[in-house]
Amino acid sequence: MPRESSAWTDAYWLWRSRASFVEYPIPFKATQLLMDIGVVDANGDDRLDVFTTNHNYRQDLLIADGKGGYRDTLSAWGLDQNLEFPGSEIALTVPEVDKPGVYMYWKGRRIFTIRTHKIKEVGRLHAKLRSYTTVNHYQGSGFAVEAPVALPRVDNKMAETVMGLSSETDGELDMEIETPGTPIAVDLDGTVPLTSVYIGLQKVSPRAKQFEVTFQDRHGMAWADYNDDGVMDVFITRGALSGQLRLLPESVEQGIQDELIVSEGPGRYKNVVKEVGIDKRGCSGRKVNWVDFNRDGLLDLFIDCQDRGNVTTEGNYPKQLYRQNPDKHFVDVAAEVGLDIPGSRGDRLRLVRRGQRRLHRSADLRGHRLLPLSQPWRKVVHPRVHRPRQVRPGRQSRAQRDRQIEYWFVDGKLVGCRFSRQPESSTCSRLPRPATPCCSTTAAVSFRSSTRRPLVYRARA
């Protein structure tokens, strides 16, 4: 049985590292529905940048300038949730209404708003909205509205809701959408020119009269140089519409996927997730991390899927472990290695590789009994785990300790580390570099309980 590090040991190492970090305020005032936050050298300039994921809200990718300042490059790098309409995510402000035309934007978490301004100068608005979610209610002025109608269900899939509207004067229509992450198809059939239709905070005009307003509902981001071009790439998990993704028609379901965004040069990216064999399969994705679990020199992906409890699907949302093959494609091998664990809220799992042959796992699975697993795995259930803890091996030689790799998985995030025997001589670098002491995370984030002000702790030079 491995010996757990005690609270005294943890306190000692915190005390030893007290002069190793300096405190910086995170460079934004507020962020809504924070799902994930972290630091990464996104542009390879040896400065740590800051990223967040915020469900369907506008997220942040803040690039450090080395002088204490940051700039948001999310749209400049083409990483918006909707590439056709950058800036159309839910925001804390509404777009400036300064030109005649039609404005479509989100106002709060569930309110989709259509506003007309001096529309008589540009034409008449007539539109139909279609979506596989429910319009709970609507209110406003200046619009003639055809009440939402649910079309007949096909093959026990979700019913499509259709709603019509028109306007010839200034007005505003607010619609409460049950599941905002569900795509909303808009069909314009009026005389308003497309150049007078503005979508989102950046007021981007559609290229055709039929378009979709949708989000990626981003939850977790994991950065690594996947294509070996020296520029960081990013894998992003997304939700599954409160666990109801598989109730959508297949044509809609297949368009809702996680993202593997690969660099094609400085500031240019492409989503290749479908090309490399990664399939969402109804996974309500939460945390994700790159880890070379089989030590073949190729980074693999571990994805935490959460069971939302709304829809029973095959496998009950098991967690996914995508092994990368030499051709850069991925295969889910979670079932082969015993990690196809059904998702549940509050899962905490950590993996530890000891030496080169044995792999141990411990997890908090809400009081489930100890279950035997096939070798080389074993499972230990703890009643509660509040924080990541290093699992130390028993008696080992110095050579065994020096080549030890530890995998921690806390609150859904898998972290792989190689430690040298002397902690003060350890260095951090990106996986996979088996010969170098490394850890896939390079900084910690905490919240001050008194002010709830987020702080990022950065290692001193």
Tens digits of residue pLDDT in 37-66: 888 999 889 888 999 999 999 999 999 988
Per-residue pLDDT at 80: 92
For 202-238, give the DSSP string.
TTBPPSSSEEEE----EEEEEEE-TTSSSS-EEEEEE
Comparing CA positions, the residue from 407, 442, 372, 426 lying closest to residue 294 is: 407
Least confident of 11-25, 73-87, 227-241: 11-25
The pLDDT of 319-345, averaged and rounded, is: 86
For residue 245, the 8-state DSSP code is G
Return the top range by mean pLDDT from 153-162, 334-343, 345-354. Answer: 153-162
- Dist CA 221 CA 146 (whole Å): 41
Around Cβ 437, how many Cβ atoms within 10 Å? 18
The pLDDT of 316-329, averaged and rounded, is: 89
- Dist CA 266 CA 336 (whole Å): 38
Which region holds residue 413: left if phi is over 0, alpha if psi is between -120 and 50, else beta? beta
Q: How far apart are the first and last CA of the chain?
A: 39
7 in Cβ contact with 14 (< 8 Å): no
- Dist CA 98 CA 286 (whole Å): 39
With cut-offs at 50, 70 and 90, classify the pLDDT of residue 156.
Answer: confident
Regarding beta strands 379-381 and 358-364, do their DSSP bridges make them parallel or antiparallel, or are they unpaired? Answer: parallel
173 in Cβ contact with 138 (< 8 Å): yes
pLDDT at 356 exceeding the cut of 90:
no
Cα 83-88-93 angle, rounded to 5 deg:
150
For residue 306, the 8-state DSSP code is -
- Dist CA 334 CA 380 (whole Å): 18
Per-residue pLDDT at 309: 62
How large is the C-alpha radius of gyration of the chain?
24
For residue 60, the 8-state DSSP code is -
Per-residue pLDDT at 333: 94
More confident position, 9 or 182: 182
Per-residue pLDDT at 6: 52
- Kindly report whether the peptide bond that precedes residue 27 is cis, defined as omega within 30 degrees of 0: no
Q: Is the dihedral of CA 253, 259, 260, 266 positive or negative?
A: positive
The pLDDT of 243-264, averaged and rounded, is: 89
Around Cβ 21, how many Cβ atoms within 10 Å? 14
Per-residue pLDDT at 417: 42
**Amino acid sitting at position 25:** P
The residues pairing with 261 across neighbouring beta strands, listed in sequence order, are: 234, 271
pLDDT at 364 exceeding the cut of 70:
no
With cut-offs at 50, 70 and 90, classify the pLDDT of residue 18.
Answer: low
Comparing CA positions, the residue from 87, 85, 83, 82 lying closest to residue 60 is: 87
- Dist CA 223 CA 305 (whole Å): 19
pLDDT at 453 exceeding the cut of 70:
no
Question: pLDDT, tens digit, for every residue of 70-119?
Answer: 999 999 999 999 999 999 999 888 999 999 999 999 998 899 999 999 99
pLDDT at 15 exceeding the cut of 50:
yes
Q: Which residues contact 301 (CB under 8 A, 6 or more apart)?
A: 222, 235, 278, 288, 289, 290, 291, 320, 321, 322, 324, 330
With cut-offs at 50, 70 and 90, classify the pLDDT of residue 243.
Answer: confident
Return the top range by mean pLDDT from 43-47, 142-146, 448-452. Answer: 142-146
- Dist CA 142 CA 170 (whole Å): 6
Per-residue pLDDT at 37: 86
- Dist CA 144 CA 142 (whole Å): 7
Question: pLDDT, tens digit, for every residue of 181-232?
Answer: 899 999 999 999 999 999 999 999 999 999 999 989 999 999 999 999 888 9
234 in Cβ contact with 131 (< 8 Å): no
Least confident of 133-142, 204-213, 287-296, 326-335: 287-296
**Amino acid sitting at position 61:** L
